[in-house]
Amino acid sequence: MRKKVIAANWKMNGTLEQANSLLDAFASAPLTVNESKIAVFAVPAPYLMLAKEKLGGNPYLQVAAQNCYSKKSGAYTGEISVEILKSIGIDYVVLGHSERREYFSESNAFLADKVNICLEFGITPIFCCGEPLEIREAETQNTFVAKQLEESLFHLSAEEISKIIIAYEPIWAIGTGKTASNQQAQEMHESIRSVLAAKYGAKVANEIPILYGGSVKASSAVELFAQPDVDGGLVGGASLIADEFIKIINA
């Protein structure tokens, strides 16, 4: 049975005081996490060590970087390597978020390089994919997302891709307050799994967690996560509100 994952993406938000308060709240809350359901906190880079310290007492609360570079080391001022992340005990990293693709022009090929180096160092990529509004309106979202997967992930072996977490994020629903309907989310997750199955077989495809990201709220989480191919969420704004995110985890 594939793992359930609830991932918080704080993005570029939170002062040190706010980060301390949030992490303390999550560390002390009664969370329904276990071997089959984990919570991952993608915090701004300056807070990675703090988050490890605050959450380290619970093996089912993990910390993720929001990005990494495609090289092991070198003269890349301002970037963070997976070697550095691994050295401080980080086991997850978010790759290919729509904001990275749009604002920093990250291509599918560039993301493939990032995926490769993460796996080389034993770090689990949370690989984001998803379509903008014009693609959804043209009803070509399945083809668009399949291309993202094929160009960034399909060079991997079956063993390697089994170590990936995929996060589907309809770009038109990120930070807009809009949310794909449960049916829309399920349809795309099912499509992603079918694309994976066509390449790697049903057994491999059925073991890969696929998360939904796009204005996830506590009020909609239970029904959303009940969809057969929705294995959790990549949560933005709501993860900055302790009570709200705790409810989402426990959903």
Q: Catalytic site residues?
A: 97, 169
Q: How far apart are CA 233 and CA 213, in angstroms?
A: 6
Non-local CB neighbours of 40 within 8 Å, separated by 6+ positions: 5, 6, 7, 8, 61, 62, 63, 64, 92, 126
CB 14 within 8 A of CB 48: no
Alpha helices per DSSP H over 36-140: 48-55, 82-87, 98-104, 108-120, 133-137
Phi/psi region, residue 155 (left: phi>0; alpha: psi -120 to 50; beta: rest), is alpha
Q: At what angle do helices 242-250 and 218-225 cross, to 10 degrees?
A: 20
CA-nearest of 97, 105, 194, 100 to 142 is 194
CB 176 within 8 A of CB 133: no
The neighbour count for residue 217, using CB atoms within 10 Å, is 18
Phi, psi dihedral angles at 46 (to 5 degrees): -65, -15
Partnered with residue 40 across adjacent β-strands are 7, 62
